[in-house]
Every structure is written in C-alpha cells, then in structure tokens.
Amino acid sequence: MVPNDRKYTREHEWVMIENGIAKLGITDHAQEALGDIVYVELPTVDDEIAIGDSYAVVESVKAVSQVYSQVSGKVVEVNEELDGTPELLNQDAYGQFIAAVEVSEVNESGLLTAEEYEAFLAEEA
C-alpha cells in the first residue's frame, strides 16, 4: 500500500514535506525492483541541491541507481543508519528517508498523489 502522507514521482521516489522540511526517499516499488540494497551514498549535510539533481546513489546486487530530488534547498539531515545498514530500505522503504532538505522550491508538476502513483504503477505493470 502506498502511504497518503507524501507525494511520489514517476521515477519511484517519494517526498514528504512538513514545516518547510522535505524528507526524501525511494518507494517500495523501487526497492523491490532494485533487489537487495548493499550500499547508499548519502549526500552531505549543508549540500545545496536543486530540482532534478541526483542527491544520492543506491547500489543493489542488481544495479546502481541515482536518486533525484523534486525539491531545491539545503540538506539539513541524512539518514546515517543507512550507512551501516542499507538494507533498511528493503525492509521499510516508506519508513526510511535518505535525506531531509530545507525547501526553497518544490516541483509540484513532477509530483503525484498516492492515488495517481498507484494508477501509474498499474499502467507500468
């Protein structure tokens, strides 16, 4: 099930914005497609990222994937747990963010609601 508390991209990433801070992550569909995740290259706190930038790399036994941002702003937190245990993304993709960004701009046109994302997944299948 796709949580309703965040928005999604057609590239299988999610963004949840609260009080001007966007938590960014990958969807359950993405982690499933990647397979066993073995490494996550996290951004650095204070990095500036722009809409469309790759801010992280997720490496699995099958592939290496760039993770792109739908927001611009400054990285204020990274999920350091993923450094030692990247498989947390496999266990709970929606419960694990990759980075948190202080938002200066959001690409609303690139974001889907949970219902729109589920419909997109159904079309892709």
pLDDT at site 1: 85
Greatest Cα pair distance in the chain: 38
Mean pLDDT for each consecutive 10-residue tract of the chain (125 residues)? Answer: 96 98 98 97 98 97 96 98 97 98 97 98 91
Q: What is the value of pTM for the model shown? A: 0.96
pLDDT at site 89: 98
pLDDT at site 11: 96
CB 56 within 8 A of CB 26: no
Q: What percentage of the chain's residues is helix, strand, coil (to nearest 5)?
A: 25, 40, 35
Which has the closest alpha carbon to 50: 73, 19, 79, 80? Answer: 73
β-pairing verdict for 7-8 and 13-18 = antiparallel
